[in-house]
Amino acid sequence: MIAGTTRTTIMTHTLSRVSSLCLIALATATVQSQAATMAVNGGSMSLDLDSSIFSALLLTTNDHFGATSSNSMTLATITNPATPGDTTDVWTGLPFGVNPASISSPSGRTLPGTTLTYDPGNLTGTAAGQIGLGGFTRFNGAGGLFYIGDYQLLYNPTRATGVYSGWYLQNTAGFPANAFDFANVSTNLTGSGFTLSGDLVPNSDSFFSLYGLTGTDMGNFSFTATAVPETSSALLGTLSMVGLLTRRRRTA
């Protein structure tokens, strides 16, 4: 016959063990669920622009600043024609870098951070958030001073019509406005990110539409994103509880 105190102790240990096993099962299920969610944490983009289109707008020269140099300049400095770019009068291979989630903005600018998450099994069906891109292009000519950059790459399924993919670049340099939609896109998913490539085609809500360029192929792009499995606060809390209960069992 088991004494009352002993029986209570056995039941307590049994319940503790069952609780731990339940939490471990919950943590395992959560891990499996979270493993399907990827968070973009790096990457790059390269743009090739059709110089003839910009020349028709009387924007005949350009200065381009990559992410490293542009992300540290104030708006007044980077828009000053006397400030030389990393490259001058180069229209192809213009580089941009993916910004981190948290980034400081110089005076006069708002540099977008990167928050995009997705399920690798359904990229466009689950993409949420934005990808901030460091880089800035300043155009000069008889048409005056014109600049674009500090892009954020977004996905909107309602824009996925015809040649348009739903991916688009929104300019935040000086003012927020849609610039280019990604059209005729080729997508490649890997275990550590994804790539996109295709054409730069303004949609009807792009500021380029003001110049009659809606639907015009203004160049092409290649984009590469690296991503890591996302770990949620709920998962961390569950794992912490499992660890706490395990320690209690060992000291009981």
pLDDT digits (tens, 9 = 90+) for 81-119: 999 999 999 999 999 999 999 999 999 999 999 999 999
Cβ-based neighbour number of residue 34 at 10 Å: 15
Torsion of CA 52, 54, 58, 63, to 10 degrees: -110
Boundaries of every domain in the chain: 4-35+232-251, 38-229
Alpha helices, DSSP H, located in the chain: 4-35, 51-56, 67-70, 75-78, 123-126, 233-251
pLDDT digits (tens, 9 = 90+) for 43-65: 999 999 999 999 999 999 999 99
- The count of C-alpha atoms lying within 13 angstroms of the C-alpha of 188, restricted to the half-sphere facing its C-beta, is 7
* 73/77 Cα distance (integer angstroms): 6
The structure's pTM equals 0.80
